[in-house]
Chain A
Amino acid sequence: DIQMTQSPSSLSASVGDRVTITCRASQGISNSLAWYQQKPGKAPKLLLYAASRLESGVPSRFSGSGSGTDYTLTISSLQPEDFATYYCQQYYSTPPITFGPGTKVDIK
């Protein structure tokens, strides 16, 4: 099974900050990576897939990059509605589908 890790586990940031979250897979996943945003009490929402492709309707301040085992999600200018928990998910080798443990972004 492919294990996913994320760093940091949490971060505090201010509106307007540039935020970067890292996701690492236990083996290469050939850009088969998705990112989700989850707000308290809500279902996750797909942000990006194929490591860098923005889902329709997602603001362009969200971007993704990476290759091999290491990937990043960047929010170029944090907005109030972006305070949430972010999860990465690999779909290179399934089953099982595996998620990272999450990164909580809160207000500094």
Chain B
Amino acid sequence: EVQLVESGGGLVQPGGSLRLSCAASGFTFSSYEMNWVRQAPGKGLEWVSYISSSGSTIYYADSVKGRFTISRDNAKNSLYLQMNSLRAEDTAVYYCARNSLGAYYFDYWGQGTLVTVSS
């Protein structure tokens, strides 16, 4: 069974940093492209970042470019999102999501982890 389990969310002050993790199991993690998608309270879905299976190709949404860094450790079956210079508008549930093989839609999602940026 495919499982994606996020962790690392919490309350952080504006300007602060946080590192999210996503532990993957039930599939060959190193074969799949991965993403972070977020959802602000009461709002819709916003794609945040993408990383290829090897980690060699990375994309970011303009809203987080220069502040967030996506990475992965295929030996540990884990995906990460380092978030720096956090702003109130980054407050959201952050989901890790697996690309379907060969396409940029998401066939599995984690349960999400809440990040709250507030003083």
In contact, B50 and A91 (Cβ under 8 angstroms): no
Residue A61 is within 8 A (CB to CB) of chain B in the complex: no
* Cβ–Cβ < 8 Å partners of B47 in chain A: 95-99
Cβ distance A49 to chain B, nearest Cβ, rounded Å: 5
Chain B: interface residue count, which band?
A: 20 to 34
Residue-wise, chain B 79-97 has the 8 Å CB interface mask toward A (1 for contact) of 0000000000000000100
Cα A94 to Cα B74 with chains together (Å): 24
A to B contact number (C-beta, < 8 Å): 59
Residue B27 is within 8 A (CB to CB) of chain A in the complex: no
Q: Give chain A's interface residues, CB within 8 Å of chain B.
A: 32, 34, 36, 38, 42-46, 49, 55, 87, 89, 91, 94-102
Q: Give chain B's interface residues, CB within 8 Å of chain A.
A: 35, 44-47, 50, 59-62, 95, 100, 103-112
Given contacts A36-B106, A89-B105, 16 further A-B contacts (CB under 8 A): A34-B106, A43-B111, A44-B106, A45-B109, A89-B45, A91-B105, A94-B50, A94-B59, A95-B50, A96-B59, A96-B61, A97-B50, A98-B47, A99-B45, A99-B47, A100-B44
